[in-house]
Amino acid sequence: MKILLTCSSRHGATESVAEVIAERLREADLTVDVAKPEDVTDVSGYDAFILGSAVYMTHWTPEAVDFTKRFREELEGHPVWAFSVGLSGLPKGAISDPHRIGPVLLALDPEDHKTFAGRFDPNQLSLRERTIARLGGAAEGDYRDFDAARQWAGTIAASLTSGQE
């Protein structure tokens, strides 16, 4: 079983969650390639896909959205999971409507979509980003829950390995 995990990260929080997910899948003896979506030129040879993106203003990054548009047909017929990282400072990093991330997830019809809390470090942001985050009520801090990411990856591993001998 070969998995492509794409990850579009702005300030490293999404990338760190992706690495934890990849590590857990590898522990289940699955082969996982991790790549930035903009670096992927071919998806043939993969059995499953996990797509991750940072979330800004309720949207995935342009690179993540572009990936889903470029490879939409190739993804059909394969299991696809999606995760979003961001929204730090909101209760448990959750959003009430995951479809606000945009039509990208609706078009993919993923097996599951999980939202993980991110990290808000104003020192890593531009003035514009800091202003928007503060207006949105984001509180400074690191809200990443790596145990939750490992647990979610474990459910993906179980799904992919059930029926394998």
19 vs 97, more confident? 19
- Does pLDDT of 149 surpass 70? yes
- For the CA atoms of the chain, what is the radius of gyration? 16
Which H helix or E strand runs over 86? strand 80-86
Task: Write down the pLDDT at residue 96.
Answer: 41
| Number of neighbours of residue 57 by Cβ within 10 angstroms | 8
Q: Distances in Å between the alpha carbon of 150 and those of 8, 37, 85, 155? A: 19, 22, 14, 9
User: For helices 13-27 and 146-161, what crossing angle results, to 10°?
Assistant: 40
**pLDDT for residue 57:** 67
The four Cα atoms 135, 88, 17, 5 give a dihedral, to 10 degrees, of -50
* φ, ψ (nearest 5 deg) of residue 127: -55, -45
The region of weakest confidence among 19-33, 102-116, 146-160 is 102-116
Give mean pLDDT, residues 139-148: 82
Higher pLDDT, 80 or 10: 80
pLDDT at site 107: 73
Residue 133 or 3, more confident: 3
Query: For residue 161, which phi and psi values (nearest 5 degrees)?
Result: -95, -10
pLDDT in tens, 25-77: 999 999 999 999 999 999 999 999 999 998 876 778 899 999 999 999 999 88
Domains of the chain with bracketed CATH = 1-161 (3.40.50.360)
- For the segment 78-112, what is each residue's pLDDT rounded down to a tens digit? 999 999 887 654 444 344 444 445 556 667 778 98
Residues 6+ apart with CB under 8 A from 151: none
| H or E element that contains 12 | none
Banded model confidence at residue 9, pLDDT cuts 50, 70, 90:
confident
Q: What is the pLDDT of residue 143?
A: 76
Asked if the model's pLDDT at residue 163 lies above 50, the reply is yes
